[in-house]
Amino acid sequence: MQFSQVLALATLFISTSVAAPVEVVERACAYTCGSVCYSSSAVSNALNAGYDFYSAGSTVHSYPHQYHNYEGFDFPVSGTYYEFPILSSGRAYTGGSPGPDRVIFNKNDQLAGVITHTGASGNSFVSC
């Protein structure tokens, strides 16, 4: 193959490769708590809001507060753990009813998991 043919093929490949933009589609449900689907960005938003309060040494209606893991979840990051509400509306928790769902994080701003009261007995949690 001659250089001009290689150049023509390379130009064709590049022009067809960049002609159509690639759309990144987020996975619909990173976590499902009961019947509520949370995207990874919703989880990140709740985690960021909770950690912002934690790192500022402040709370909103007592959140975030320490989560003692009485249920014995095997989280992928080490504790001390803190819980903060994640809302089905997608908005960051700013007070009022926290709903049943929580993000769990540690003091290093690492997500430990997402848990819910939905389907749990008493005031316990189950994993989402």
Q: Which CATH number fits the domain that encloses residue 55?
A: 3.10.450.30
Whose tokens are 């540690």? That residue is 106
User: Does residue 61 lie within any of the structural domains?
Assistant: yes
Higher-confidence residue: 117 or 91? 117
Q: Is 109 inside a domain boundary?
A: yes
Is 61 labeled as catalytic in the residue annotation?
no
Q: How far is CA 63 from the centre of its chain?
A: 17
Residue 71 has pLDDT above 50, yes or no: yes
Domain that holds residue 33: 23-127
Position 1 in a domain: no
Number of domains within the chain: 1
Query: For this structure, is 65 an active site residue?
Result: yes
Domain membership of residue 83 (yes or no) is yes
The model carries a pTM of: 0.78
pLDDT in tens, 15-54: 444 444 444 444 589 999 999 999 999 999 999 999 999 9
**For residue 89, is it within any domain?**
yes
From the candidates 26, 61, 68, 117, which is the catalytic residue?
117
Tally helices (H) and strands (E) across the chain: 2, 7
Which residue in the list 23, 65, 68, 71 is annotated as catalytic?
65
Residue 14 lies in a domain: no
- pLDDT at position 14 is 41
